[in-house]
A and B are shown apart, each in its own frame.
Chain A
């Protein structure tokens, strides 16, 4: 059953021209353009891409903290834009978010118990005492000692703060959890713990997850499906194993090749991507990846590439993916 459908979602930001007159039309920054995907209940979708590719903006548009400039987000087939503010608020209890910077996402003036219980106190009429008990239960589930409820966020390590953030996100037992690079700011040894915690809780609670990361290994570990983004556009999508083992799109290949191999004797694969991410203020014409693509054809700069579906459940936005470099 489809829980969340995103149709043609675009997010544009207005950027004032530097030094221009105040009434001059602002530049349009296309952070996300015409993204579509579906997410089934209990499924995990991994989103990967370089920094600046619009992953976080996509997540925020879905969760509703960034306004979308086009397209539609459907929750169980109902468009969010058609909902009343009260309905929308109720829906917020169903989708929660885990943030990238664990400490910044916690109010420094509130105790951990208050932070974790806040969604509960917002959406359910729970007395203070009970909310505290529920927060303690939740702390235990995410691997924190429940007697630390009265502590403040600055007294915890990064990994512990992320556990607090996860506890807050899960206390309402939502159906969708959006994780915006939940482990990027953590130590490698702690990353595995937090990823495993998310996987375990996701399975236990039957959560659907959107898992954003720029680390392909992490995404492959947690996701059922993977979507590769570049400059606000979908490059490739498919089952996690298939995409990481047999990438089709040249950009995905380059991403996978750029993952360092932890073996000093292994031969270096020099086929990393050249150049920098182009500015989303002025994206390249046609396929946005063509200036950096190792197998760009002359017609790649003309017109948006068609989305091909070589096998069921697999999508790739490159007509030349079968060729050689």
Chain B
């Protein structure tokens, strides 16, 4: 039988051992991180992505050849001695003009990753703010801002890009500008839609009733609640930007020689397919496919981890 004291000890709330120290809460981000870490495919994708970044940014240091020096000994007999080999130092073989394919693939991966990441950053930066402001402020501002996006989407971007390349110089910068111009449009639409549902939530009304100013409401209450969907869409945007760059390079409008990109390398490899040099297509294509798969797995994992329904 319980004594009176024991009973009281039993029903009294558990005394806090350290009342001074505030308990650290688990934020939704921490929860999402834990969910992401449990997703094996996503973690594997992230690891592969990290390795590819190391390959793209540090891979050139260990190669005996750089991406523009022509190995004159290979010229004319690329299909017989130009294949991948450890002795010659051409680990991925050479291209049709005798340049080291390993060094060129490293450099091309770097360009492709940069294009993808810059596209995603522009989308996150401009697209999020644009969409959040349009959606939150609403009415006429919304109409003007979103019709502008509609117009930009309606303009054939290839046409604009070709014009840009012709009027200005063909350069990597121009490519980044072109990617930046189109990448944020869809993001703005997605963010606007999400903002429309968010702005009717009671915590936004509470902020309005408190007298918080509109820019602060957007920055403090709208954008942080959008970031989940923004992060997911941004990771899925990286591969589509890489594909876009590859397409542009494939048409011969992308980066300029001796610079190259994965798309340009694949285009060159594809044109050499009949000459019995499968490595020229194989290696860039393999890196490209691995990169896209890794990005899709990471994006998928992020979407599952940040799913708001799973709160």
Interface of A toward B, CB cutoff 8 Å: 60, 63-65, 89-90, 92-93, 96-97, 99-101, 104-113, 118-119, 122-123, 145-152, 154-155, 165, 168
Known A-B contacts A97-B206, A147-B22, A151-B23; A108 and B28 likewise in contact (beta carbons under 8 Å): yes
Contact of A107 with B225 in the complex, beta carbons under 8 Å: yes
Complex Cα distance, B222 from A185, in Å, reads: 25
Interface string of B16-59 (1 = CB under 8 A from A): 10111111111110000000000000000000000000000000
Which residue of chain A has the shortest Cβ distance to B203 in the bound complex?
Answer: A107
Given A104-B202, A152-B28: A97 and B22 interface contact (C-beta under 8 Å): no
26 A/B residue pairs, CB under 8 Å, sorted by A? A60-B205, A65-B208, A92-B210, A96-B209, A104-B202, A104-B203, A106-B206, A107-B203, A109-B28, A111-B25, A112-B25, A118-B210, A118-B212, A119-B211, A122-B211, A145-B19, A146-B19, A146-B22, A147-B20, A147-B22, A148-B23, A150-B23, A150-B24, A152-B25, A154-B311, A165-B206
When the two chains form their complex, are residues B207 and A108 in contact, meaning their CB atoms are under 8 A apart?
no
Does A155 contact B21, Cβ atoms closer than 8 Å?
A: no
B245 vs chain A, min Cβ distance (A): 34
Whether A99 and B28, one on each chain, are in contact in the complex, defined by CB atoms closer than 8 angstroms, is no
B258 — which chain A residues lie within 8 A by C-beta? none
**Contact call A105/B206, Cβ cutoff below 8 A:** yes
B→A interface (CB under 8 Å):
16, 18-28, 201-203, 205-213, 216, 220-221, 224-225, 311
Interface centre among B20, B201, B206, B225 (most CB of A within 10 A): B206
Q: Are A122 and B210 in contact (CB under 8 A)?
A: yes
Which residues of B sit under 8 angstroms from A89, Cβ to Cβ? 211
Chain A residue contacts of B20, Cβ below 8 A: 147
Say how far B225's CB is from chain A's closest CB, in angstroms: 6
In the bound complex, CA of A160 to CA of B172 (Å): 56
Task: Give the distance in Å from the alpha carbon of A307 to the alpha carbon of B25 in the complex.
Answer: 55
Nearest chain A residue, comparing its CB with the CB of B207: A118
CB distance from B89 to the nearest CB of A (A): 53
How far is B205's CA from A105's CA once the two chains are assembled, in angstroms? 8
Q: Once the chains are docked, how many angstroms separate the CA of A161 from the CA of B220?
A: 20
Residue ID in chain A nearest B227 by CB atoms: A109
Contact A152 B27 (CB under 8 A): yes
Find out whether the CB atom of B206 lies under 8 angstroms from the CB atom of A109: no
CA distance A92 to B220 in the complex (A): 19
| Cβ-neighbour of A105 out of B24, B28, B202, B212 (below 8 A) | B202
B211, A147: Cβ atoms under 8 Å?
no
Question: In the complex the two chains form, what is the Cα distance from A93 to B210 in whole Å?
Answer: 7
| CB proximity of B165 to chain A, nearest CB, Å | 42
CB distance from B21 to the nearest CB of A (A): 7
Cα A165 to Cα B209 in complex, Å, equals 13
Looking at the assembled complex, report how far the CB atom of B207 sits from the nearest CB atom of chain A, in whole angstroms.
7
User: What chain B residues lie within 8 Å of A148 (beta carbons)?
Assistant: 22-23, 25
Q: Note all chain A residues with C-beta closer than 8 A to B28.
A: 108-109, 152, 154
Residues of A within 8 A of B213 (CB): 122
* A107 neighbours in B (Cβ, 8 Å): 203, 207, 220-221, 224-225
Is the pair A145, B16 in contact by a Cβ cutoff of 8 Å? yes
